[in-house]
Amino acid sequence: MSPNQKLFIVIVGCGRLGSYLANRLSSEGHSIVIVDINESAFDALSAEYSGFRVEGDATELAVLKQAKIDKADLVIAATREDNINLMVAQVAKKLFRVPRVMARVFETKREKIYRDFGIETICPTLIAGDVLLESLMKLSVITEKGGRQ
């Protein structure tokens, strides 16, 4: 994604991650449609958010069509449920031929399986785990023996 290129992005799930991404990407000038099953979830969007909101269940094809997923340059699936994210990602990629599709997956086992299927997955558990382990390693270098001194 080059800095000047303006994209049409569909984000599914307006939780902490979805709303954060929607606010950031919208302020950078991208066109956003955000989908959530609960209308109250859209309260997390900032006053500056200039994209569209679609209230509905993303496992329903009509809802994804309403969000214009067929026109999207990028789809990000960020609901709290792994299986919804994986389903939305596959529908976006295989049925609507969206060029770039990303899914958040919490469960580490699932993450690996779907990466093997060619779905781009992001696993917060692995990311946080790796960062924690890395900082632990640094700490043990400082304390040399690794234990409490």
Partner 1 sequence: MNILIVGGGKVVYFLCRTFLSKGYKVTVINRDQDECTWLARRLKVTVVYGDGSDSQILEEAGADAADAVLAVTPNDQDNLEICQLADLRFRVQRTLALVNDPDNEEVFRQLGITAAFSTTRILSSLIEQRAGFEEITNLIPASEGKVNITEVVLKETSPVVGQPLIDIALPENSLVASILREGQAIIPRGTTVLQDGDHLIVISLPENLGQVLKALTGNMK
Binding residues for partner 1, rule: CB under 8 A, are 59-62, 81-84, 86-87, 90-91, 94-95, 107, 109-110, 113, 117
Smaller CB separation from partner 1, 7 or 66: 66
Nearest distance in Å: CB 63, partner 1: 9
**What's the CA gap between 16 and 11, in Å, rounded?**
12
> CB neighbours of 97 closer than 8 A, spacing ≥ 6?
none
Nearest distance in Å: CB 75, partner 1: 15
Nearest distance in Å: CB 68, partner 1: 16
Nearest distance in Å: CB 138, partner 1: 33
Smaller CB separation from partner 1, 23 or 121: 121
Smaller CB separation from partner 1, 76 or 86: 86
> CB neighbours of 85 closer than 8 A, spacing ≥ 6?
12, 13, 77, 78, 79, 103, 104, 105
Query: What is the CB neighbour count within 10 angstroms for residue 33?
Result: 21
Q: Which residue, among 110, 135, 131, has the nearest Cα to 122 in the 3D structure?
A: 110
Smaller CB separation from partner 1, 15 or 20: 15
